[in-house]
Amino acid sequence: MPTIQWFPGHMAKARRQVTEKLTLVDVVFELVDARIPLSSRNPILDELIGEKPRIVILNKSDLADAVLVQKWVAYFNDQGISAVPIVAQEGIGMKKVMSEAKRLLKPKFDRMAAQGRKPRPIRAMSIGIPNVGKSTLINRFIKKNVAQTGNRPGVTKAQQWLKLNKELDLLDTPGILWPKFEDPEVGKKLALTGAIKDTILQLDDIALYGLEIMKEKYPTNLAARYRLTETEMTLAPADLLMLITERRGFIDDYSRAAEMIIYEIRSGKVGRYTLDEVPKNLANETSKK
C-alpha cells in the first residue's frame, strides 16, 4: 500500500478554529476508534488541548477485542486521562461519559457556586479524526438526528454549537487528520477501519492488508468467516483474495471481493478485533493488578 497523505483544506481551517474555541469549553471529548485507540488519535491534539480536562471516548467498542478495550482504558487512566468505552450507535456508555464529565468538573462548578454564579450546562467540545462517530454521539445524546452522520470520513464540515440537554452544550468539530503519517502502519490501519476516504486508495490494497493483519492477529476469526483450512491459511494475502473471490462466486471480480472483505472486516463480520497493541510494560502491570 502506498504512503498515505491526506490533509484537505477544511481540516487545516478546523485546526485553527479548535485552538480559538478551546477557551470557551470546560472539557474535551476526544473520540477514538476502540479498534485502533492510538492510531486513531491525532498526535497534534495533545499540543492543542494542553491541560484542558479531557475524556477519551473509545467508540465502536462492540467491534473491538473486549479484553483489549479494558486494557486500553487502563492505559489511558495510567496516563492521567479519563477513558470511557461506548457504542454510540446503540447509545451504550453515554451516561458514563456524562458522569465522568461531572466528576472531572466538580471542583470548577463548586467554585462557581461558591462565587454565587448561577448553574449552567457543561460546555464540551467533541474532537477526533474523521469517521470515529462524533455525529452519532451527538444524536444519541440529544435523541434526535440533529447532526449529519455517515459511515464515511469528512461528513462534518464546520463547527456548530448544539444544546444537547439541560446538562450539556456541545461544540461539534470536523474530523482532523494530520498532514503525514510517519508510521506507514498507522495509515494502513486508518484505511482499513474507514477513517480515510476509500476513493483515494486502491481497495485491493486495503483488502490485502486486512487479510494480512487478520491472519496475523486473529487467524481463528478469519478462518471461520471464510471457511479456510489450515493449509489455506498459509497462503499469501493475494492468493487468499483469489481463493475468497472464487469461493464467494465472484468469478474473477477481485475488486468486488476486495470491497466485500473490507466491509466485512469493518462491520465486525470477521469478528471483534483490536489492531493497536497496548505498550508491553503497561500490559504487564495491569495483568498483575
Query: Is 62 annotated for ligand binding?
Result: yes
Angle at which helix 203-217 crosses helix 184-193, to 10 degrees, equals 100
Query: Is 61 annotated for ligand binding?
Result: yes
Query: Is 284 annotated for ligand binding?
Result: no
Query: Is 59 annotated for ligand binding?
Result: yes
**Under 8 Å between Cβ of 153 and 107:** no
Query: Is 136 annotated for ligand binding?
Result: yes
Angle at which helix 66-78 crosses helix 280-288, to 10 degrees, equals 100
Q: How many other C-beta atoms lie within 10 A of the C-beta of residue 109?
A: 15
Q: 182 CB contacts (<8 Å, ≥6 apart)?
A: none
**Under 8 Å between Cβ of 190 and 182:** no
Query: Is 132 annotated for ligand binding?
Result: yes
C-alpha span between 161 and 19 (Å, rounded) = 16
CA angle at residue 250 from 248 to 254, to 5 degrees? 110
Query: Is 116 annotated for ligand binding?
Result: no
Compute the Cα dihedral for 287, 183, 201, 10 and give only its sign: positive
Which is nearest to 123 in space by CA: 71, 85, 79, 161? 161
Burial of 241 (0-12, 13-18, 19+ CB in 10 A): buried
Residue set of the binding site for GTP = 59-62, 131-136, 175
Residue set of the binding site = 59-62, 131-136, 175
